[in-house]
Amino acid sequence: MAKNKISRKEVDAIASHGQTVMHAPKHQHEYSEFPNASFQIGDGDHIAVKTGIITLSDFRQKHLAAGGEGAPLAVYGDYLLCSKNGEDRLMLNLGGIGNFTYLPSDGDTAKIFVTDTGPCNTLMDTWTKKHLNLSFDGNGTIASHGRVNIPLMAALKAHHFFKIDFPKTTGPEIFNIDYIYRALQSSGQQNIGNEDILATLNRFSAETISSGIHHAVGYKTCFVYMSGGGLHNIVLVDALKQLLPFCHFASSEMLGIPGDAKEAVLFAVLANETLAGNPIEFNANQRIPSICMGKISLPS
C-alpha cells in the first residue's frame, strides 16, 4: 500500500490468497481414510492487525470441507466476471500449474467445468533455475532452439495423474525437478542438452493442456482468454494454437483483466462474495461446491 501510495481509507478489505506449501488431493496421497488436503501460509490475523483493515484469507479450506480439492478456485470469479451469453469461453491460466474454466454459452452452471491439466511453467522454471541460473525461459527463447525429444516426452506423460479422470488437481509435490530427473533416467536421455529438454517440457505442457480442453469441449469453437506467466511464452502459445485450431486465442486483457494480475482480481472477487454476496448455485455440478470462502480476520 505504501509502495503504491494507497491509503487505508481507500481499501474496503484485503484478500490474501496465500502461498500453497502443500497440496494433497486424495488421488495423490492415496490414503482412503483421509480427505483431500491443502495447506497455505499467509495469516489473515497478522495482516489485519498490521494494516488495520478487515482481511480474508485461507480460502481453500471451505472448498475442501465442502468436498472439493481446494483448487482451482478461479471458477467463481471467472463465472461472475467473464461469462457471456452466446459465446463458449475458456479461461486458461498458464501459471505454474495449468488450469482452465469452461463457461458455456447458455450460462448453465451445471455445465461449467474447471480442472488442472498438469504442469505449465513449473517444470520449465525449475529446470532453468537449477541448470541455467535463470528464473524462467523468457518468451520460450531457449526452447525455440531445441527439438522435442520423443522418449523423454513419453516418460513425462507416464505418471498416473494423466490417466485419472478430469476434473483433477495437482502441484509441485509431484511435478518438480526430481520428476524431470526420473523421466530423463527412465527414458535413457540423461545426456541431451538444455535446449532439447526445455523444448520437450514446453511441448509437454502444451499437449497436456490441450488434452484437458479436448476433454471438456471436444472440438467446439471456443474463445480462449489466457492469463499467467505462460502467456508470454511464444513457443507455448504457438503450440496451443496449433493443437487447438478450433479455438480463438486472446489475453484476458481483452476482458479488462490484466493477464499478470488475474489471480489477484479473482481472489478479490472471492472476498467480496463472502463479505457482501451469496454463494453461486452450481446446480448439479458437485465438483464445484456452492459456497463462499475465506476466513474473516478483524483488525481489533
Checking if the pLDDT of 283 tops 90, the result is: no
Contact (Cβ atoms closer than 8 angstroms) between residue 212 and residue 120:
no
Cα angle 126, 129, 130; round to 5: 85
Q: CB count, 10 Å around CB of 118?
A: 26
**Pure H helices in the chain:** 26-29, 44-51, 60-65, 74-82, 122-131, 141-144, 150-156, 177-186, 194-217, 234-243, 262-276
169-190 confidence digits (pLDDT tens): 999 999 999 999 999 999 999 9
> Could you tell me the pLDDT band of residue 285, with boundaries at 50, 70 and 90?
confident
Decide: residue 271, CB within 10 A, 0-12 exposed, 13-18 middle, 19+ buried: buried
Position 291 scores a pLDDT of 94
**Omega within 30 of 0 (cis) for the link into 72:** yes
75-89 confidence digits (pLDDT tens): 999 999 999 999 999
110-160 confidence digits (pLDDT tens): 999 999 999 999 999 999 999 999 999 999 999 999 999 999 999 999 999
DSSP character string of 1-61: -TTTT--GGG-S-EE---EEEEEE-HHHH--TTS--EEEEE--HHHHHHHHTS-EEE-THH
Give me the half-sphere count of Cα atoms (radius 13 Å) on the Cβ side of residue 64: 18
pTM of model > 0.95: no
- 8-state DSSP, 119: E
Checking if the pLDDT of 2 tops 80, the result is: yes
206-264 confidence digits (pLDDT tens): 999 999 999 999 999 999 999 999 999 999 999 999 999 999 999 999 999 998 899 99
The whole-angstrom distance between residue 16's C-alpha and the CA centroid of its chain comes to: 17
Contact (Cβ atoms closer than 8 angstroms) between residue 17 and residue 59:
yes
CATH topology classification for 8-297: Nucleotidyltransferase; domain 5 (3.30.420)
Instruction: Dig out the grid coordinates for 235 from the structure.
Output: 513457443
CA neighbor of 58 nearest in space, from 12, 17, 13, 20: 17
CA neighbor of 101 nearest in space, from 254, 284, 223: 223
Domain assignments of the chain as residue spans, ordered by start: 8-297
> Could you tell me the pLDDT band of residue 60, with boundaries at 50, 70 and 90?
very high
Position 277 scores a pLDDT of 86
